[in-house]
Chain A
């Protein structure tokens, strides 16, 4: 079964810290992986998309890495800010017969000022 797990479920850090969010997936035959941000009462915003052939993607203070063989991805947030507080979801896309995004359950991040 294709499952996506995110650890930790919740994280609280002081402002300015660098932090890492983890995502693992059971089936390594992925097409790509995306990281999303969800603010309370809002929809999801795509942050980074990594193709299966890539090792990492960067956008500003965000860096996402992908290790397909071990079934892991990490989202690194540098110099965290209170505005980064949100739920972060990773989603794995399997093509072929699955042809859908499989979402993790998310990590709730709180950055304390």
Chain B
């Protein structure tokens, strides 16, 4: 397996634009996680899915953020409208079992909102 695949690797967008980040988890993994990493706040869990169903979205900062998982092999994180403070590295991770078991991370999407 190629691991967790995220796209794009880098995204630069203007404030107010819609941004969509994509993730393909490892085949057979039942859990998918979206994290955000910033210098100020470190690594924070935004939302996670189990078998394509959102389980905990308490980390999603605002209604501008939404995430979907239409099938077991694809997930999106959307920000609409984007703001400069959304600039961060967004990671997707997947795991075979429950949260707290070994998770495999993608290489991240570096988002810059200008």
Contacts and interface: CB of A to CB of B under 8 A. Distances in A.
8 closest residue pairs by CB, A with B: A93-B100, A43-B105, A103-B43, A44-B105, A105-B42, A43-B107, A46-B102, A100-B45
Q: How large is the interface on B (under 10, 10 to 19, 20 to 34, 35 or more residues)?
A: 20 to 34
B4 A100 contact: no
Nearest to B45: A100
Contacts of A105: 42
A40 B70 CA distance: 31
Overall SS of chain B's interface: strand
B56 interface: yes
Interface of A: 31-32, 34, 41-46, 49, 89, 91, 93, 95, 99-101, 103-106
Interface string B4-37: 1000000000000000000000000000000000
A31 B101 CA distance: 10
B56 A100 contact: yes
Interface of B: 4, 42-45, 48, 56, 59, 91, 93, 98-108, 110
A45 B106 CA distance: 9
B106 A93 contact: no
A33 B105 CA distance: 17
A49 B42 contact: no
A46 B56 contact: no
A88 B46 CA distance: 21
Given A89-B43, A99-B56, A31 B100 contact: yes
B99 A100 contact: yes
